Amino acid sequence: MGPPARIDDNIVEAIGQSNLVRLNKIPLLLAAKNENDDTITPPTPAEVVAKIEFTNPGGSVKDRIAREMIEDAERNGEIKPGVHTIVDVTSGNTGIGYGVVAASKGYDVIQIIPEPYSVERRALMMALGVKVLVSNKKDGMDGACKIHREVMQKLGPDKSWAPRQFDNPGNIKAHFEHTGPEIWEQCGGKVDAIVAAYGTGGTLSGITSYLRSKNPNFKCIAVEPMEQSLLNGDKPGPHGIQGISPPFLPTNVRIEEIDEVIRCPTSEAMKTARALAKEEGFAVGISAGANAWAASQVANRPEWKGKRIVTIFPSAAERYMSTELYESVRDEATNLPLSTFNPGTVIEGQSKFEMHSLASHKEAGTVFRPGFKVL
């Protein structure tokens, strides 16, 4: 069953109320893969449930924070439609979220996206009317931030607004007031931990704060790329899991709330993302693969038997077709040969497709609705 049936007044009202879905195969598959490890006790892992955030209108969890930050600013009198342009640095998904909300409310949007992120994200933003500026990958996040400052200066304070998603309290608020309560209600009050990566930190921090207010024993387990674990004291460096772990610790990452960190190799994130599609029907992005892999590691610890772990599937597969995650599938699909048929083939007991025309309907005596016409 999905969320309650209703007619929303606009696309912004359709944000949130995503489904929570049990993972039935992946935790067991990952346990079987490690069956020689005496810390693994298949087939009795903890239950893993995933919040399916790619069902939001813009296709990701970031729709939630885009709505919250913009509506907070409206309530505070900071911005007005048709007056202020929304300017931010994004890896893509938040920029798409801004585009969804802004199109409905009447704002212009300019987003700066660093070069390595997928072209699909750029295209989706542009389809929503967002002006996209691409920063050079050699300049890193610092280069994107410098372009951001220049755009803000050019527009002036009376015409521009920077949400600053990495430290905007509305980011955490969106998940404390909405996502967290949704999970609590969907779980009937039985949920023991969240295992999830952080980007800006809002999802992990907001959900943890709310669920820990309901269950003081609730655990928060953060996921970072093996190649760059800032919470382990690593220096910033490149990694292959788009959308998580920027090269700094955002203000919205509440380190004091985190109980443990699991480092996920990029290769495992990609393999798990592909397995989620083929084994369970979740066509997801790279970070969802990292989350599912890490959640399964926790679920297969003997001491977690009987507990329920929630994780997040932030976005869907479509915006990763140009990346390493799905490039082989894309190339294979592009080069599929045309299938042919033998005109003389007759298959016993199978009739051919009926192909009708308006004339054939009239000949067959089809009775049309009174007043039927084509305008």
pLDDT value, residue 292: 98
pLDDT value, residue 117: 85
**Which residues of the chain, if any, have pLDDT below 70?**
1-4, 32-44, 347, 349-353
Phi, psi dihedral angles at 5 (to 5 degrees): -70, 135
Residues 179 and 247 in one domain: yes
Residue 366 lies in a domain: no
Residue 108 to residues 11, 63, 320: CA-CA distances in angstroms? 17, 16, 26
Q: How many domains does the chain have?
A: 2
Residues 234 and 285 in one domain: yes
Residue tagged active-site, from 18, 245, 287, 296: 287
Residues 213 and 274 in one domain: yes
Identify the domain boundary among 161, 191, 226: 161
pLDDT value, residue 37: 55
Distance of alpha carbon 240 from its chain centroid, rounded? 16
**Contacts of residue 17, Cβ cutoff 8 Å, sequence gap at least 6:** 3, 4, 182
CATH code where residue 81 lies: 3.40.50.1100
Residue 173 lies in a domain: yes
Residue 152 lies in a domain: yes
Residues 54 and 146 in one domain: no
Domain that holds residue 52: 11-59+169-327
Identify the domain boundary among 138, 161, 184: 161
Residue 341 lies in a domain: no
Phi, psi dihedral angles at 104 (to 5 degrees): -70, -40
pLDDT value, residue 41: 47
Residues 201 and 281 in one domain: yes
Residue 241 lies in a domain: yes
Residue 28 lies in a domain: yes
Measure the CA–CA gap between 213 and 278, rounded to whole angstroms.
37
Measure the CA–CA gap between 194 and 254, rounded to whole angstroms.
14
Identify the domain boundary among 161, 187, 209: 161
Residues 45 and 182 in one domain: yes
Residues 153 and 219 in one domain: no
Of 298, 362, 318, whose CA–CA distance to 127 is shortest? 318
Residue 112's H or E segment, with its range, is strand 108-114
Catalytic residue status for 131: no
Residues 74 and 15 in one domain: no
pLDDT value, residue 1: 46
Residues 222 and 291 in one domain: yes
Catalytic residue status for 173: no
Residues 49 and 193 in one domain: yes
Residue 141 lies in a domain: yes
Residues 82 and 228 in one domain: no
Residue tagged active-site, from 62, 173, 219, 307: 62
Sheet of 47-52: strand order equals 20-22, 47-52, 308-313, 193-197, 219-225, 260-264
Residues 102 and 113 in one domain: yes
Residue 362 lies in a domain: no
pLDDT value, residue 205: 98
pLDDT value, residue 100: 98
